[in-house]
Each structure stands twice: as structure tokens, then as C-alpha cells.
Amino acid sequence: MSGPGLSAPRLCVSALSGGGGKTLLSLGLARALRGRGLTVKTFKKGPDYIDAAWLGLASGLPATNLDPFFLSASALRDLFARSLKAVHVPGRETLALLEGNRGLFDGLDVAGSCSTAELARILACPVLFSLDCTKMTRTAAALVQGLLAFEPGLHFCGVVLNQVGSARHEGIVRRAIEAHTDLPVLGALPRLEGNPLPERHMGIASSGHWLAEDAEARLERMAALMRGHLDLDAVLAAACAAPPLSLDTLETPEPQTRTEVISGTAAAPSDVTPVPPKLCPPVSGAGSEVRPRIGYVRDAAFWFYYAENLLALEDAGAELLELRLVSDDADDGPEQDARWQSLDGLWLGGGFPEDCGPELSRSPRLPLIVRLAQQGLPVYAECGGFMLLSEGIERDKAFWPMCGLFPVRASFCPRPQGLGYLAGRVVADNPFFPVGLELRGHEFHYSRCRWQGEAPAPALALSRGQGMGLMGTPPHKGDGLTRWRVWAAYAHIFAPAVPCWAPNFVSAARQYRKEKELCASR
């Protein structure tokens, strides 16, 4: 990792589509190369918690998310370089392994904006392609030819045949690709009797933040599969052949100015005075003030937290406290009680609260959350966190009461109600974002809002995404509810793309702490 730019072995694993084998290949490679003594730093293209968590487990280091929808090219290169340098051990090779999402060229529009291919170009990252060869022989060569010629500026370093039915099948496909293209075949993975990864919804399953009871055994089997069917030496050589990555002058990312991939503008509800678009204000240092305590719930129900978001809060001056709502007796002792009582701010992340409805509904800490919110505690709730603050969760004809801060029920559905990128304008006062801010985020939820009365005006008027559906009068597609110092929405944010979020959260928590101390002194 030296030179005028960043010299680091790196690979981007992609496929023709979702379900094309890139996750199996990425996880197996990460674990197999780690077993060779390399430091493997994994990255996931796109907003993603579950795949990223599995990648982190496979490599032994937290994965980092990278996405052109949120960050400019220079900011992406900066985050990539900083992430690699943070884990680099002198004298030990560090390899960057990036797993793409969907198909290689799939993006927001026909131009492929924000695709894996765009990210691979930005990072000058060689592409290792997983090709599903199910019921296919010579046609595989035509597909590879098309990939090589489709877009300029990409470097393909090899192809891995996937779902190969027999030695004869492999031989025909391999010879066809070698005869008609110059892309080397670096391995062939056999058709497996069962999926080595547990499935849930539209991606990998998880059992809370523990992922799966047999996760380590599954990863070891995937690594063994790679060692037995891939030319790992050739894969490493391809990664090491990546050119130095030119790094731009470091800059504060301002993705809100990049509007070319968002169609339309956010319409403000009729009862909100329109305001011009606003960027996040400059971020100032934390100073020497006392560090306010911001708790975040991480347990079987809530564990969707980007490491970059946690780091942003710490950099802004917060002391982070890990909390539980769903826990065993060993986790739920005096230390947890003390943490909850000492809070200056609370972050309720996403996850699968619908899987823990009865346990959450019985939690004695739900009334505490309500009481703290009424007292002015800053509470930031994303997706599953919003569901916790609703009147309750409905699923399979059952209803589990929750905090009841907002007059809405989260009704669970068999299909996604919001999936993908989300964008809009902040239109309601709150402690976390300035009114007028053009906000980018993402959503992934199977629940929809069932309002108990008229749907209120949204805090975020959407130009992209589903959010909470139609809100306000007249109705506009929106997301986000506010009350006291509480923000609750389906939207997830990525802190490097919203640099004002963490300082504002910490500032609100510090103000709450001062108010507590003032009341205690009287």
C-alpha cells in the first residue's frame, strides 16, 4: 500500500443478476484467502446490512458499504482507502474484496447509474465474474463476449463457472469460453444439493446479529469449496495486478448536489411552506465538552447499524452504549439498567422486530422509552425502530403492543412494501436534519402503515421510494414522524453521505444532558 496512489490487491465479484452466485463466491474467497494468512478487507456495494455482516464474519473484519448513490467518486475512493489503511498490518498483504449487488450493469436507469460496474470503474477494481451455467454450454461464451464488450473502462480478470453439472459440462463450457474469448476461467463450482446459505426474504437469512447458529461451519464449507474448485493462486495474481488507485484531494462528500439520478423533486405537503434545497451545514469538531451518552439497541430484534454511522457519532463526541431489549438473563442485569438510566440519546436501528414481537411487547423498558421521550430525550428510530415506537406490530392475525408514541400500526405483509433507494426533502422541524435538506437513504421493509385516524403530514416529502405511503392533506408520498425530540422513519441513512446527522444528534444529546443536570441541581 504505497506509491502516488493506493497500491492494494483488489477484486470485485459480480454476476449476471441477483442469485448469480456472487455471495457464495465472495464469502468463500474471503474465508479461504484469510486462511492463507492475508488480511482480507471486505466491501459491499449498495446499502446492505445482512450480506455485509456475513462478509465481515468471513474475513474477520467489519465490512464497509460503498455506493455511488450516496457518495461522489472522490468520496468513495477516500472511504475505500481509509478503510484499507485502517486494517493494514505492515509486512502482511492486505486484499480488498468487493461484492457487487444485482447484475453487474444494473443501476437506477438505462444508463446504469450507480451500478456495480460504475463502482468498479471508480475504484479501478478488476472484476471476477460468477457465471451461472445452469442448462447452458456454448452460449456461456456469447454471454462472456457480451460482458467484455458492453461498457468501456472495465477490466475483467476472470470468470468462475457456477452450477456446473458434471465434468463433461464443465469441459464444454470452459473450452467454449477459451475458444471465443480471452477471459481466463479461474474455477468451476459444482451444482450443490442444497443452498450453503440460509435464505430469508430476498437475501441471506440471519438469526439476529448472530446471523446463524452454524454460520462458522457454513463459511468453512464455502472456503473448502473454493480451495477445491478454484485456482486461488490465479485469483490472487489477478488481484495483485490491479493498477494503483489515484486518490483525489480529500473532500467532505456532498451527495445532495448530485441530482442527476433522481427523477422529479420532492413536493412539500400543502400545509408546509416550501423551502429551497439545503445542504448539511459544515461539521465542527467535538471540542472538549463532556461526551453525552448515546445508546443503541443491538440484540436479536435490532442490529442494522452501519459501522460508519457508529464511528460518526463517536467522532462527533458521543460515548456509545450498547443496549438490549431482547436478551437472556445474563445480558439483562444491573449494568444494562444503569446504561438505560444514564442515556442522553437513543438510537433504535433496524432489524427484524416482527420476529421478536412477544418478547418486545413484554419488555419493561418500553414504558421507560416513552417516559424518556416525553422528558425530551433525543430518539432516532429507523425502520424497525419506528415499528417499536408505533402502537404495535400486526402479523399473522396477531397484534403485539409496542410503545405507542405514534398513532399508527406496523402491519406485516408477505411481500416488500418498500425496497431500494429513497430520497426526499426534510419538511418538519427536528433535532437531526435541517428543514429543506435533500436527504438520500434507503428502505427495506415488509410492513406498511395502518393509521389510527388521518395520516399526518410527513417529516420527509419523498421524490423516490415508498416510505410510509400517502401522508398529509392533500396526500403526498412521504416518510417520517416527529414528536418532541423523536424522529421515526422507514428511511435508513449512511452517515458519510449525511455529515450533519451525527453532530446534530450529539448536540441534541448534550443539550438534554445539560437540562438533566440543571433539573438535578435545583
Catalytic residues: 383
Task: Give the orientation angle of helix 22-35 with respect to helix 50-59, to 10 degrees.
Answer: 20
Neighbours of 54 (CB within 10 A): 29
Distances (CA, A) of 467 to 216, 381, 383, 441, 443: 35, 14, 9, 11, 7
CA–CA dist 258, 378 (Å, integer): 30
In what helix (H) or strand (E) does residue 67 lie, and over which residues does it extend?
none
DSSP result, 314-345: HHTTPEEEEE-SS--TTTSSHHHHHHHHT-SE
Residue 423 to residue 433: CA distance in whole angstroms: 14
Contact between 392 and 411 under an 8 Å Cβ cutoff? The reply is no
Q: Write the DSSP symbol of residue 189.
A: E
DSSP secondary structure letter of residue 492:
B
The x, y and z cell numbers of residue 19, run together, are: 442469485
Cβ–Cβ < 8 Å for 88, 94: yes
209: number of Cβ within 10 Å = 16
For 77-126, give the secondary structure using H, E and C. HHHHHHHHHHHCCCCCCEEEEEECCCCCCCCCCCCCCCCHHHHHHHCCCC
Helices (H) and strands (E) in the chain, counts: 14, 26
